[in-house]
A = this chain, B = another copy of it.
Amino acid sequence: MEKGKDIHVGDRILVKQAKEEIEGILLESHEAGIVLVKLNSGYNIGVDRSNILEMNVVKKAEKREEKTEEFEISHKKPVIDLIMTGGTISSSLDAKTGAVKALTSPAELFKFYPEIFALADIRVISPFMKLSENMGPEDWSKIAKQVVKSLNDPAVHGVIVSHGTDTLHYTSAALSFFIKNLNKPVALTYSQRSSDRGSSDAELNLLCAAKMALSDVAEVMLVGHASMNDDFCYALPGTKTRKMHTSRRDTFKAINSTPIAKITRDKIEILREYNKRKTGKEAKAELDDSFEEKIALIKFYPGQDPEILNYYAKQGYKGIVIEMSGLGHVLTEGSKNWVPVIRELVKRGIFICAACQTLYGRLDPMVYSPGRELEKAGVVYLKDILPETAFVKLGWVLGHKEWNAEQKKQKMLENISGEFNERLGAEFI
């Protein structure tokens, strides 16, 4: 609230500065001294309070109608299981008062998101509530178990998983590997901020996730804002997506890949090939969540001592993903040469693989001699995989104790859940 004036978050205001006037909706600002305004374009702009000459209300905020009727399952609409796991999307909705509150009942959700309840009967399930940076492989397993249970319930049309953003792309990769024979849509969604109800990205993201959950697309997808405006979402591939901005609503980007679908409030536009919903008795999703937790991800930096590899080996680690520079390089000369250390660890049965530090593009160990040396020492080059997806896949593959060393290598190089884009490359050579 603006002191001394009757201006509140949600009001349409006119901000006068020396050179320009700005009109828009007043948002809650996290930064002291900054007045945050949502423009008609959908963009938010921060105005330094010290530059403001005058600020007036153009139109008071309309009170958001809170549905007072009791929430009820209609038994007439398709059913979506909404698996809530925490994060901004399911908490902090009342940022105005600063109170953090978990929303886990359908009745509470109904108040905030009546639109998705118009589309489907929403059953809310919450295996746990966590910030996503606190999640790990055990949590991925818990989520996968619940997703499979829901997918195999004949009453369920599709599944939404709501989740914090920080590690959502790890969880989407985990579900992509942990669930075999996927029969129905699994849409992971999130919100980046819920600074006030007007500016929250949660409503559109949830609505688009619900639309995808009801669609024909039987994929693990990450559904959320496609731009900074509140106009449409993308459904992004579970193994080829990464959080690329600390705070933007369109933080998730497909890397070395493209969105599966564009979703507006009106329709779904399919953008490429996808796996279709399966029906019949054969169409049962299966859980395959074996996971080796003794794995590490190392991002190589100049001058780095390869002793870090020996450290992990001594701690009993079974596999390491190295985020290498360029086409897949690390230090290969002098006293800090990585080649002999890697050769020795690979001999001792530790799985060492490479992903790209550049994120975009494809590894190619054959172009320069360091790559050839590293490959000869036993590094498995994982093509155009994301480092985060490589980490999850390595844990999953090494978790399968029934596979021998050669099978594990084959599995790491096999395109199991779209983690490699075989079509990528020719245009970039």
Q: A301 and B388: CB pair below 8 A?
A: yes
Q: A30 to chain B: which residues have CB within 8 Å? A: 364, 366-367, 429
Any chain B CB within 8 A of the CB of A274? no
Within 8 A of B (CB), among A325-351: 325-334, 336
Partner of A427 from the list B45, B331, B367, B387 (CB cut-off 8 Å) is B45
Distance (whole angstroms) from the CB of A315 to the closest CB of chain B = 7
Q: A46 and B246: CB pair below 8 A?
A: no
Q: B302 and A170: CB pair below 8 A?
A: yes
Most buried by B among A167, A328, A362, A363: A167
Given A358-B243, A428-B245, A136 and B302 contact (CB-CB distance below 8 Å) = yes
Q: A370 to chain B: which residues have CB within 8 Å? A: 131, 133-134
Q: A323 to chain B: which residues have CB within 8 Å? A: 299
Any chain B CB within 8 A of the CB of A53? no
Q: A426 and B325: CB pair below 8 A?
A: no
Partner of A363 from the list B132, B246, B293, B360 (CB cut-off 8 Å) is B246
Distance (whole angstroms) from the CB of A103 to the closest CB of chain B = 17
> Which residue on B lies nearest to A164, using beta carbons?
B326
Q: For the complex, would chain A's binding face be called helix, strand, loop or mixed by DSSP majority?
A: loop
Within 8 A of B (CB), among A281-300: 293, 296-300
Q: A429 and B329: CB pair below 8 A?
A: no
Task: State in angstroms the CA–CA spacing of A64 and B426 once bound together.
Answer: 27
Q: A245 and B332: CB pair below 8 A?
A: no
Any chain B CB within 8 A of the CB of A248? yes
Q: A364 and B246: CB pair below 8 A?
A: yes
Given A247-B362, A248-B428, A332-B134, A299 and B297 contact (CB-CB distance below 8 Å) = yes
Any chain B CB within 8 A of the CB of A307? yes
Q: A331 and B246: CB pair below 8 A?
A: no
Q: A331 to chain B: which residues have CB within 8 Å? A: 133-134, 136
Most buried by B among A47, A244, A307: A244
Partner of A307 from the list B303, B315, B329, B368 (CB cut-off 8 Å) is B315
- Binary CB contact string for chain A from 367 to 407 against chain B (1 if under 8 A, 0 otherwise): 11010000000000000000110010000000000000000
